[in-house]
Structure formats: C-alpha cells, structure tokens
Structure 1
Amino acid sequence: MHGEYKVPGGKLVVVDLEERDGRIADFHLAGDFFLEPDEALEAIDAAVNGLPVETDAAGIAAAIRTALDSAFPDAQLLGFTPESVGTAVRRALVTAPGFTDFDWEIVHEPAVSPHLNLALDEVLTTRVGAGLRNPTLRLWEWDQSAVVIGSFQSLRNEVDPQSAALHGFDIVRRISGGGAMMMAAGQIITYSLYVPASLVAGMTFADSYAFLDDWVLQALRSLGIEATYQPLNDIASPHGKIGGAAQKRLAGGGVLHHATLSYDMDGQVLTEVLRIGREKLSDKGTTSAAKRVDPLRSQTGLSREEIIARMKETFTRLYGATEGHITPEEYAEAEALVRDKFATHAWLHRIP
C-alpha cells in the first residue's frame, strides 16, 4: 500500500506498507523533508511497524513521538510532523487518491446573484459526489453585494439588517458552517472546490482544510505574499487575515470546500454591517474588526483579475486542470433550489 500527504506549507510525506494479520508491516517512510539524525528514520519506521491497521492518525503520531522521545529526544523534524506521517498512513490504508489522480475542471462564469452562487455550490457538490461531474474549481462572480452567514449562525446576532440595507448588502445563508462574510461585489475573491470524499479520506476534518487550500497558498506566495494557514480555517499573512474557508460534506459523497479572500475592503462598513463581538476579536489577538482583515490589493498592488489569473495558473500547473462550464441543466437545478430553499424566509431565518 502506498500513501502520500503534502504538508501544507511543508514537505511531501510518502509511506509504503503492507497489512499482515491486521497489523502494519514492512513500513517505510520517505519524502523530501529534513530529519536529523539520520538514524531517527529507522526509529520512526520501527514505531509504525506492528501497529493495528485500525490505529488512527493521532495514535500513529503518538507512537512515533514515544519512540523518538526514547531514542532521539533531540531529533529535528523539518517540513513534517508525526501527525503528517499518521495522515499518510491512513491514506495508504484506505487507498486515498491525490489531486493529480483526477481530471479537474476550472469554471469561471459570468456574475450571478448571491442566492444562485450558493445554490450552485450545493448542485455541483452533489453532482461530483454522484460521479456526474469532474472535480471542479469554481471562481465566483457576484452581481450584487451580500453578507453570507454560516449555516449555524443566528441571523440577528451576526448582522445589522438596517446597516446592511443602507450599504446595499443582501443577507443570505450558506450550507456550510463558519462565520459571517461581508462580500462586496468586485472586492472579494471567492472560490469553491467540489471534490469526491475519497480525496480527503484518511484525514482529520482539520487537516482537510489546509490540504485543500495548499494550492492557493502557493499562488499567493508566488505573488510575494507570505501566506500561511491558521487553524482551523483562516488564510493569513504577517499583515493580518486574508480570508477564511468553510466545508460541507454531503451524504452522496461530495465535499464542498469554499473560501473567500478579501481583495479590497472598507473596514468601517465591515464594523457597521457585521455584529462582531469583543470575544471573537480578542480570540484573534486584535481589538479592531477593521484591522483583522488585510486585503490582497494593498499587499500586491495587482488588480483582482491578475490575482485570479495567477490562481488559475497555479492550480492548472499543479493539477493539470482544463477549462469547464456550468451546464444549462445545472443552472436550472440551482435556480429551482433558489426558489425552494435559498431565497425563502424559512432558510434565512432558520436560526433567528
């Protein structure tokens, strides 16, 4: 069995193993990471060999740490961790594919309403899970501004409806969890990944966030931004938060992973439209909502279109994606979902 895991912001971890009598055998770790001393590699291999095949990633990591603490307490692991080895092992045991094992499409269609964008997320995720569409990266375009609240958020606690209306923001609710996002048309970059569940098999929910957004970190770094992933779901730089991601896993086997990056932002409008509590701000280590988010425009000096072009180029270079389109049937299905779900009072106010 063979498994690979690219550590977000780090190195590639590769494992090869066999299963014998319900236990891991002939385990070998490899990759482009750095490890000192050399002999620590043998200690890691020995720690994993013999473990029950049901051992989860955390259990594998614990066995590795125990072995290293005993034999090589000063060992240096650079570009990987015991947890990343555990993830690679779990992916090997479930024969999880990687990004390059799929035929990817990139979709970047003309602007549609906030409601239709949210409905398309559900439709395309369902179709990928059912095998009716290739895994897809979609770049959103908006025809009006909106505040998008998370599936489990209270409407009245998160948004000031009068200020939202005053500044021209519609209020909509998405199917994924997470926090409210103020999405001014033309001032944000939003993308969605629609992937089969097998792509993130063997990963913890937290690991899958960083794994699915590693490509965008590479794109941002190629533009001179020191982009990093801040658990659980923030994309940041030394200047502040750039954006955030959210996920929804559907029963049919599709996984939706979408993220919004701030290209430009009016910090004062943000504080007026969103009811951002002091507790959340203190958790982020800042006292000003306006200072929490640092837009891409100020960091790069590039147009929004140039940044999106670099994102497409990076994804295509890494995974061999081709241009795709949303079909008339998919649009029709999404429009029906808008009518029956996303534009209804019951959906928006399901948590008052």
Structure 2
Amino acid sequence: MKHHGEYKVVGGKLVVVDLDTSDGVITEVSLNGDFFLEPDDALDDLNDALRGLPADASHSTIRNAVTDNLREGAVMFGFDEDAIARVVRRALGHATKWEDHEWEVLSPEIIPITEQVALDEVLTRQIAKGTRKPTIRFWDWSEGAVVIGSFQSLKNEVDMEQAEKHGIQVVRRISGGGAMFMEAGNCITYSLYAPESLVDGMSFADSYPYLDAWVMEALESIDIATPAGKIGGAAQKRLANGAMLHHVTMSYDIDAEKMTQVLRIGREKISDKGITSAVKRVDPLKSQTKLDRMEIINVMMDTFAKRTGAKPAQLDAESRLAAKELAEAKFATAQWTARVP
C-alpha cells in the first residue's frame, strides 16, 4: 500500500515522504523536500532508518530510529528527527493536518466566567467521544475575573483582598499556565478543541507556534508589528483519551494598574525590571490597531476560516446546560478554586 505525507516545519522547510507498506511494515521509503542535508548521501541513512519499522510505530520510535541511524557528523538544516517522525506518522494516518478535519467556529456570546471554563471541559470531552467536530470558540463575558491555571497556588497568585475590593471573581481552569486578568472587554480569548492527532509527537512548547500560526497571520493583517510589551499567553490541556484543549488570551484594553494590584505574580514579574508601573509592560491590541475589539475578533475568525475551511456554528443547548451544571458542581465551588491553596 502506498502512502504520502507532507509537513512544513514551523520556521523551517517542507518535509515530504512517500512510503510503501506491506503486512504492517514499512517496506519502501523516499524522504524528500526543500530541506538541506550534509553530506548528501546521509539521505540514505534517513531512508534506511525508516525501512522495516512497524506501520504503527510511535513518534518516539521513529525519531529514535532516525537519530540512531544518522551517521556521525551529518547535519540537518530546516528539519530534524521530530519533523521526519511527524511526516511519517501523517503519511500513515496517525497524525493529522488542519485540513484533515471539518472545523466549526463559535462566535462570542456573553456567558458567566465559571461556565466559560466549564465549557472548555465539556467541549474537549465531546471531542474525545467523537460527538463534536473540531472547534474554535471565542469567549465573551460581563464580569471582572481572574482565571488561574490548574496548578497555581491561589494565595500565591491572587491578592484576594484586592480582588474583592475591585469586584474580581477568581476561577480555576483545567489547563495549566499562568493567571489571566479578564475584565469585560479588556482582552480577546479563544479556545481550540481538537483531536490530539493534530499535535502528534509535539511537545507543548512546540505545538504553540504551530497551533497559533493562523493568529500571527490575522495580527499581521491588522498591522500588529511591535517589539513592545506582551500581547498574550497560551495554555493547553491534553486528555488521556485523545482530545486537546488549546487556550489563548490576548490583551485588548487591559487596566494594568488594577491587574498588578490583584495579581501578586504581576508585582514579582516587574520587581527586578526597574519598572515602577506594569503599564509599561503591556502593549494592548487597542492601542496598536485603533480597532474595536469585535473588529479584531472578526478578522481572527475570518482568517481561521480561510486557513481551515471552518464553518460558523451555534453552541447547542445541551452543551450550555452541561456547562451550567458543571460550573455549579465544580468550577464555581471554593473547593475547586482553592484546590491548590
């Protein structure tokens, strides 16, 4: 049986492989692409490393076979062992590309923060069960909140006295990463729900630029090109049953002074920078683009749709109810919020 796979390394070269398999084993291999490899005949090492491997070999098995078989002193430019493993897994149908999936886009609707984080769990589990198409969902909310990472210490991250003073609700999400200061209208947040095959063999760090490349294209189209400040951050959760949540929040019109009063870690981050005000560390989308927040979100949704073929969809009543019930049972409870005191 013949197989063909392609993978464009983020910031690197295109890697292509043509394979033949028989009785569950890779029998013939032709690795090719616009990469660079020295010496030239080291390409034989790469092909030989793949020949004879099981057709269901894991990413790490393929990567290690390439590493072990590549002659000493050989150098790969624009690709590496992980890229080879990824393109082989794609060719054999174990890893997927964006275009392999039927995507849906859920536009923003105002939902309480506790239900927003509950929806992340509900929709990710639907992906795992195969009852939901891969989806990107943009958030909207009306209250002030801090959403902390799954493993963060509540007392170390949040000044609860200041949070109460400013009417800021504290909620814990299921993904790791840092705290997000999220007053209504001050940031742009989206969640991506997909099969883990989309990031097959990728570390969390490597998957971020891959999953967010479309965002960079959207931001470039509205002239975001500045070295000043931090626009946003990402977090991720991969379930054991094969589904993935990728979550991103970007500053739009953040009240940085209030943020550093509420977030203890914000004070720590600027303490060794010689900075007296966190405002100097924040470079929100509003000041750079002069665009309304919803205009930016529309550009992002359009860009995602053009790149993936995603279709607009509506959040169904059953999922909304499930999120409401899960919020009440888990995400709105003190037990969950303070699970890491």
Settle same-fold status: TM greater than 0.5. Answer: yes
Residue of structure 2 in register with 1:233 after alignment: none
Q: Is the 8 A contact 1:146 1:171 kept in 2?
A: yes
Q: Is the 8 A contact 1:218 1:314 kept in 2?
A: yes
Return the TM-score normalized by structure 2: 0.85
Residue of structure 2 in register with 1:234 after alignment: none
Deviation at 1:88, TM superposition (A): 2.3
Q: Comparing 331-340 with 297-306, which one deviates more in the overlay?
A: 297-306
* Aligned partner letter, 1:320: G
Q: How does 1:129-208 map to 2 (within 5 A)?
A: 129-208=128-207
C-alpha change, 1:298 and 1:11, in structure 2 (3 Å) is: farther
Q: Comparing 337-346 with 163-172, which one deviates more in the overlay?
A: 163-172
Q: Is the 8 A contact 1:47 1:63 kept in 2?
A: no
The number of residue pairs the alignment matches comes to: 331
Deviation at 1:129, TM superposition (A): 1.5
User: Which secondary structure state, in structure 2, belongs to the residue aligned with residue 240 of structure 1?
Assistant: coil
C-alpha change, 1:286 and 1:135, in structure 2 (3 Å) is: farther
Gaps in structure 2 of 5+ consecutive residues = none
C-alpha change, 1:151 and 1:60, in structure 2 (3 Å) is: same
C-alpha change, 1:286 and 1:225, in structure 2 (3 Å) is: farther
Q: How does 1:321-336 map to 2 (within 5 A)?
A: 321-336=310-325
C-alpha change, 1:8 and 1:169, in structure 2 (3 Å) is: farther
C-alpha change, 1:85 and 1:296, in structure 2 (3 Å) is: farther
Q: Percent sequence identity over matched residues?
A: 50
Answer yes or no: is 1:262 the counterpart of 2:251.
yes
* Aligned partner letter, 1:327: D
Answer yes or no: is 1:303 the counterpart of 2:292.
yes
Deviation at 1:300, TM superposition (A): 2.1
1:59 alignment partner, one of 57, 64, 74? 64
User: Which secondary structure state, in structure 1, belongs to the residue aligned with residue 49 of structure 2?
Assistant: coil
* Aligned partner letter, 1:157: N
C-alpha change, 1:132 and 1:23, in structure 2 (3 Å) is: closer
Deviation at 1:36, TM superposition (A): 7.2
User: Which secondary structure state, in structure 1, belongs to the residue aligned with residue 46 of structure 2?
Assistant: helix
Q: Is the 8 A contact 1:15 1:27 kept in 2?
A: yes
Residue of structure 1 in register with 2:330 after alignment: 341
* Aligned partner letter, 1:321: A
Q: Is the 8 A contact 1:130 1:253 kept in 2?
A: no
Residue of structure 1 in register with 2:112 after alignment: 113
Q: Is the 8 A contact 1:4 1:92 kept in 2?
A: yes
- Distance in 1 of aligned mates of 2:156 and 2:233: 20
User: Which secondary structure state, in structure 2, belongs to the residue aligned with residue 70 of structure 1?
Assistant: coil
User: Which secondary structure state, in structure 2, belongs to the residue aligned with residue 246 of structure 1?
Assistant: strand
User: Which secondary structure state, in structure 2, belongs to the residue aligned with residue 264 of structure 1?
Assistant: coil
Gaps in structure 1 of 5+ consecutive residues = 227-236
Deviation at 1:48, TM superposition (A): 4.2
Q: Deviations over 1:163-222 (max 9, x none)?
A: 122223211100111111111210100000111222222333332222222211221122
* Aligned partner letter, 1:308: I
Residue of structure 2 in register with 1:229 after alignment: none
Q: How does 1:236-247 map to 2 (within 5 A)?
A: 238-247=227-236
Residue of structure 1 in register with 2:16 after alignment: 14
Return the TM-score normalized by structure 1: 0.83
